[in-house]
Amino acid sequence: MIKFFRKIRQKNLSESKFGKYLLYAIGEIILVVIGILIALYINNTNEKRKEEEVEISYLKRFLIDLNKNETLWKDTYQLRKNQVQHIQNSIALSFNKQKDTLDYTHLAGNMRYALSWDQINPSQDTFSEMLSSGNLDIIKNDSIKIKLIALNNKYAAIINWDKTSENTHERLMEHIEKLYNAKDFAPLSPVFSEYVDIKFTKEDFENAINNLEESFSNMISNKMVLNNLDVLADNYHRQLDTFKELEYDVSELIDLIALEIKSRTDY
8 A C-beta contact, residue 218 and residue 177: no
Cα separation, 206 vs 226, in Å, equals: 27
* DSSP sequence for 164-176: HHHHHHHHHHHHH
Confidence (pLDDT) at 267: 46
Residues 6+ apart with CB under 8 A from 36: none
Per-residue pLDDT of the chain (267 residues; tens, 9 = 90+): 555 545 655 555 555 555 665 666 677 777 777 777 776 767 666 667 778 888 899 999 999 999 999 999 999 999 999 999 999 988 887 776 565 666 777 778 888 888 888 889 999 999 999 888 888 888 989 999 999 999 999 999 999 999 999 999 999 988 888 888 888 888 888 888 889 888 899 999 889 888 888 888 888 888 898 899 999 999 999 999 999 999 999 999 999 999 999 888 764
Q: Can you tell me whether residue 178 is helix, strand or coil? A: coil
* DSSP sequence for 158-210: HHHHHHHHHHHHHHHHHHHTTS--GGGGGGG-HHHHHH------HHHHHHHHH
Confidence (pLDDT) at 184: 86
Distances (CA, A) of 57 to 5, 185, 249, 263: 47, 53, 22, 14
Class of residue 19 by CB neighbours under 10 A (exposed 0-12, middle 13-18, buried 19+) = exposed
State the amino acid at position 192 in one-letter form.
Answer: F
Report CA 194 to chain centroid distance, whole Å: 35
Confidence (pLDDT) at 134: 83
* DSSP sequence for 19-30: HHHHHHHHHHHH
Instruction: Find the helix packing angle between 202-221 and 104-114, rounded to 10°.
Output: 50
Q: Note the pLDDT tens digit of each residue in 162-212.
A: 999 999 999 998 888 888 888 888 888 888 888 988 889 999 988 988 888
Confidence (pLDDT) at 229: 92
State the amino acid at position 246 in one-letter form.
Answer: L
8 A C-beta contact, residue 256 and residue 140: no
Confidence (pLDDT) at 115: 87
Q: Which of 123, 250, 155 is nearest to 258 (CA)?
A: 250
